[in-house]
């Protein structure tokens, strides 16, 4: 399942971290515990970037899936 992380620093997507699938709760728990999350994002001209990131939980706006709409 693809999960969207909306943070003050940008919008990022993830569907796997530490080699395991994840749920929204897993992603939120990882962010709150200070774990790195493997994410990807796109820039305006369409290039995709990917890396492990740490997120400041105080600046987390939302974590959601495509089925949350």
Using pLDDT thresholds of 50, 70 and 90, give the confidence band for residue 19. Answer: low
Task: Classify 40 as helix, strand or coil.
Answer: strand
pLDDT tens-digit readout, 35-44: 988 899 998 8
CB within 8 A of 14, min separation 6: which ones?
A: 2, 3, 5, 22, 27, 37, 38, 39, 40
């Amino acid at each position: 399942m693809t999960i969207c992380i909306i943070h003050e620093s940008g919008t990022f997507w993830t569907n796997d971290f530490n080699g395991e699938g994840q749920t929204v709760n897993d992603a939120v728990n990882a962010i709150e515990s200070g774990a790195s999350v493997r994410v990807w994002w796109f820039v305006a001209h369409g290039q995709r970037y990917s890396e492990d990131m740490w997120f400041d939980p105080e600046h987390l706006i939302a974590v959601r899936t495509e089925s949350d709409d």
